Structure 1
């Protein structure tokens, strides 16, 4: 993490990006987080929601004049061009869990760059939340959680990984997964404990209604 964090919390923090979001996106995570951080143009979503961020972080080239004026005391200009605004913000907040809203809609290249950051900062517990889903990187080694029968669970490798997936309708063991190889995009829980064992970066996606469950599953061991 470069230097002292701009925002630090012992509770979850929500980063809000500038991609299109659902009308209830911010209210859906409100009870789960301690504070919000606007990521460049994402501050405009917070302005529209009537939420004052703990900070606004980024190169600030997408920030409206209204948000710039309203949140003048929270602005943190990071001019470097070698990192995305999402990475600028993620590396400057300290929290056990980070939620991200406003990063998976809009431009595909932006969404892919966010997944790239998740894979490179696999030690961080980060969840991407959108209108219908929540996604997080499985902990290396072993992660387990309980899900009701029929709950949709998708696994998408962000790199090479050997994966064992059990407690689902279509389980598999010690299977090589890769972005250009085998994936499991639309599996479902059989009811009971779902277990994922992996030695590489694998994105887990659940329905957004299971956000609380996903937050517990995403927490990294200290």
Structure 2
């Protein structure tokens, strides 16, 4: 698919789900370029933001939002085999993407957002929702986090790995969506290291860890 947006900075991608001014402020501090997924255009405009591009199947963007934005910023993609989130990830080239408004409002939309992360293992994408953030683990990741912090893992595929610095280390475990998960683990040392043999593991941390996570993801190897 042709790249609709190419950015040298991080992109804040706004969806049509729940978000608030604080979450948007957190995202825009690190990712000043704004793109909206379909009805996320209405959310962006409500917070006084004008997205550089609106991408999606346009089944939820309002007529008022369409009228408020230049025609050159509207990029409808008619196919129905992927989510608007996925359409955006295929169409935006950026060092990283912070996604807001993709969780909270509906459980099916939240699950679809996590599924989309798993479908795009080569992208550095962090979903911000409420007090949490979520991203797909790269092959190796090193994070400096406060001892006692929550460190949750949830598999979107059968995956195994190793860790150092967690209260319950993960070596020897075989994770799967219908089997073992790693939620509610804790940081037990100042530095946490995790490695995985294949894509598919979601990492869920408190949102206050965003600056640390961004630095770690940018330094981490990617999935080929």
With the length of structure 1 as denominator, give the TM-score of the two structures: 0.94
Residue correspondence of structure 1 range 17-166 to structure 2 within 5 A: 17-73=15-71, 74-140=73-139, 142-166=140-164
**1:199 matched to 2:197:** yes
Question: 1:186 aligns to what SS in structure 2?
Answer: strand
Q: Post-superposition shift, 1:192?
A: 1.2
Assess if the C-alpha contact under 8 Å between 1:134 and 1:214 holds in 2.
Answer: no
Question: 2:44 aligns to what SS in structure 1?
Answer: helix
**Aligned counterparts of 2:70 and 2:212: Cα–Cα separation in 1:** 36
Question: 1:173 aligns to what SS in structure 2?
Answer: coil
Q: Deviations 1:61-89 (Å, cap 9, x if unpaired)?
A: 10122211111331111111111111111
Which deviates more, 70-79 or 177-186?
A: 70-79
Assess if the C-alpha contact under 8 Å between 2:21 and 2:47 holds in 1.
Answer: no
**Aligned counterparts of 1:218 and 1:125: Cα–Cα separation in 2:** 7
Q: Post-superposition shift, 1:217?
A: 2.4
**Aligned counterparts of 2:86 and 2:191: Cα–Cα separation in 1:** 33
Q: Deviations 1:118-145 (Å, cap 9, x if unpaired)?
A: 11210111100012011111102x2111
Q: How many residues align?
A: 219
**Aligned counterparts of 1:97 and 1:117: Cα–Cα separation in 2:** 15
Structure 1, gaps ≥5 residues long: none
Equivalence for 2:221: 221
Question: 2:42 aligns to what SS in structure 1?
Answer: helix
Question: 1:76 aligns to what SS in structure 2?
Answer: strand
Assess if the C-alpha contact under 8 Å between 1:22 and 1:130 holds in 2.
Answer: no
Q: Post-superposition shift, 1:97?
A: 0.6
Question: 1:185 aligns to what SS in structure 2?
Answer: strand
**Aligned counterparts of 2:172 and 2:75: Cα–Cα separation in 1:** 45
With the length of structure 2 as denominator, give the TM-score of the two structures: 0.93
**Aligned counterparts of 2:98 and 2:149: Cα–Cα separation in 1:** 21
Q: Post-superposition shift, 1:164?
A: 1.3
